[in-house]
């Protein structure tokens, strides 16, 4: 039995114009639980292996929004780096570490968990900063540095900010290695949710229906041709496909005009003080106001921004913001995370949505997320609808 289509993938297509999904088999698991211990080898097989490819590094290095933000953050605030000791968490090819050195850092420790570290070392040398940048292969949790650092820089953001749970490693680095009064790059992060309309709703629903009608043909054929009644598997097949087509959040670059109402900040993170407990589980209530008339609420989009403001003691003179909000001119490889409702809902200008949002880590993979939305529509006429509950998986 040969291995079949890559329907489960350890990775996402960030640069694709069309949405992709990648489910993983889970049961119902939205209860908060103690985090399971991580098997490092499995984590490598599922996660880090991707970053060991130059192909992926190039994808990230060719996102101009990402590149400009970090470049400006460093070079417009060089006094944060000049003669300072810097730690780069997850250096990849070493670009951020090289920039820090070019901005005048005295020493840069560039930590990388994968074999990409070899390439980083070569790149550092070829750019004549090997007297400043020391590339260290290892996971941040294990690495021992000979000194504390003035600045921690890291590009740790996953889809909808927290996917990949890489910020855990940044927190660990900060708690172990940042000097009192040290600065985080970025210093702050925010998660956003906005109401959207999207043709993907119908598309995914059609795909789901096609998958099921295909199943029924298959089941009939199995009975008539091979004498095996498959009906007992129809429900689990439906559940598997419901999860895949309808409950898996989608990578998407949304046009700003698709955002049909106000957006809400659902989480603010101060990178200098945040704890893992604070991000392990998010439970937030917020309201959104519909601003387009006679439209449909297809669901919600999630995105983030991060800010480079330095610290209160040591503020950046030139603040920089990196946003992954819907944008026609400045899309990013992060895109937005779309959570689609089935069915979508008729809405009008002035309608209010009261939303209760829960996000926890997947029981099966601490780098993936399970999400719940409970949304209650109150029409501008005053009429209230029953709350709608939807589960999603960020795979």
**Residue numbers 211-270 binding its own copies by CB under 8 A:** 215, 218, 222, 225-233, 236-237, 240-241, 244
Q: Phi, psi (5° rounding) for residue 117?
A: -55, -35
Minimum distance between the CB of residue 239 and its own copies, rounded to whole angstroms? 9
CB closer to its own copies out of 32 and 42: 42
Scan residues 28-87 and list those touching its own copies (CB under 8 A): 39, 41-42, 44-47, 49-56, 58-62, 67, 71
Minimum distance between the CB of residue 71 and its own copies, rounded to whole angstroms? 6
Residue 104's alpha-carbon distances to 29, 75, 89, 149, 233, in angstroms, are: 48, 10, 19, 15, 63
CA distance 65 to 327: 11
By CB under 8 A, is residue 25 in contact with its own copies? Answer: yes
Q: Phi, psi (5° rounding) for residue 64?
A: -65, -35
Q: Does the N-terminal peptide bond of residue 42 adopt cis geometry, omega within 30 degrees of 0? A: no
Q: Phi, psi (5° rounding) for residue 63?
A: -90, 105
Site track 142-171 with its own copies (rule: CB under 8 A), x = hit:
-------------xxxxx---xx-x-----
CA distance 338 to 162: 15
CB closer to its own copies out of 138 and 181: 138
Q: Phi, psi (5° rounding) for residue 131?
A: -75, -20
Minimum distance between the CB of residue 147 and its own copies, rounded to whole angstroms? 26
Tell me how far the alpha carbon of residue 119 is from its chain's centroid.
25
Minimum distance between the CB of residue 200 and its own copies, rounded to whole angstroms? 19
CB closer to its own copies out of 127 and 378: 127
164 is a catalytic site residue = yes
Alpha helices in 94-150 (DSSP H): 95-102, 116-126
Stretch of 6-14, 139-147, 295-303, 382-390 contacting its own copies, by CB under 8 A? 6-14
Catalytic pick among 134, 141, 155, 209: 155
Catalytic pick among 164, 268, 319, 372: 164
Site track 179-218 with its own copies (rule: CB under 8 A), x = hit:
------------------------------------x--x
CA distance 269 to 221: 55
CB closer to its own copies out of 98 and 136: 98
Minimum distance between the CB of residue 381 and its own copies, rounded to whole angstroms? 41
Contacting residue, 84, 86, 88, 90, with its own copies by CB under 8 A: 90
Per-position b or e across 327-354, b if 16+ CB within 10 A of its CB? beeebbbbbbbbbbbbebbebeeebbbe
Q: What's the full length of the chain, in residues?
A: 395
Q: For helices 64-75 and 95-102, give the axis angle rounded to 10 degrees.
A: 30
Q: How far apart are the first and last CA of the chain?
A: 26
Site track 329-368 with its own copies (rule: CB under 8 A), x = hit:
----xx----------------------------------
Scan residues 112-131 and list those touching its own copies (CB under 8 A): 115, 119, 122-123, 125-127
Scan residues 273-332 and list those touching its own copies (CB under 8 A): none
What pairing do the DSSP bridges indicate for beta strands 149-154 and 178-185? parallel
Scan residues 93-112 and list those touching its own copies (CB under 8 A): 93, 95, 98-99, 102
155 is a catalytic site residue = yes
| Tokens standing for residue 55 | 């192909």
CB closer to its own copies out of 158 and 326: 158
Residue positions annotated with a catalytic role: 155, 164
């Amino acid at each position: 039995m040969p291995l079949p289509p890559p329907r489960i993938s350890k990775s996402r297509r960030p640069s694709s114009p069309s949405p992709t999904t990648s489910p993983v088999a889970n049961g119902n698991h939205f209860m908060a639980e103690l985090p399971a211990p991580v098997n490092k080898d499995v984590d490598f097989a599922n996660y880090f292996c991707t970053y060991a490819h130059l192909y992926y590094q190039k994808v990230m290095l060719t996102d101009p929004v990402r590149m400009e933000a970090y470049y400006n953050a460093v070079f417009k605030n060089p006094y944060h780096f000049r003669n300072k000791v810097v730690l780069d968490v997850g250096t990849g090819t070493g670009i951020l570490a090289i920039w820090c050195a070019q901005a005048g850092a005295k020493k840069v420790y560039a930590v990388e968990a994968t074999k990409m570290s070899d390439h980083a070392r070569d790149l550092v040398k070829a750019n004549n900063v090997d007297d400043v940048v020391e590339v260290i292969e290892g996971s941040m949790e294990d690495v021992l540095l000979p000194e504390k650092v003035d600045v921690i820089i890291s590009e740790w953001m996953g889809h909808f900010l927290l996917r990949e749970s890489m910020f855990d490693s940044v927190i660990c680095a900060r708690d172990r290695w940042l000097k009192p009064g040290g600065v985080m790059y970025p210093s702050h992060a925010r998660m956003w949710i906005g109401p959207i309309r999207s043709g993907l709703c119908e598309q995914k629903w059609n795909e789901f229906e096609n998958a099921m009608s295909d199943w029924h043909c298959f089941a009939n054929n199995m009975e008539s041709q091979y004498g095996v009644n498959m009906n007992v598997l129809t429900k689990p097949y439906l559940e598997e496909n419901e999860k895949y087509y309808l409950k898996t959040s989608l990578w998407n670059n949304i046009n700003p005009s698709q955002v049909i109402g106000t957006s809400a900040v659902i989480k603010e993170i101060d990178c200098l003080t945040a704890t893992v407990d604070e991000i392990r589980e998010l439970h937030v209530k917020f309201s959104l106001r519909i601003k387009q008339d006679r439209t449909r609420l297809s669901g919600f989009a999630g995105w983030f921004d991060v800010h480079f403001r330095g610290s209160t003691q040591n503020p950046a003179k030139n603040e920089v913001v990196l946003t992954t909000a819907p944008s026609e001119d400045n899309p990013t490889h992060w895109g937005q995370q779309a959570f689609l409702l089935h069915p979508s809902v008729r809405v009008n200008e002035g309608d209010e949505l009261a939303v209760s949002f829960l996000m926890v880590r997947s029981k099966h993979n601490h780098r993936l997320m399970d999400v719940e939305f409970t949304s209650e529509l109150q029409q501008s006429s005053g009429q209230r609808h029953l709350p709608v509950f939807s589960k999603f998986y960020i795979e």
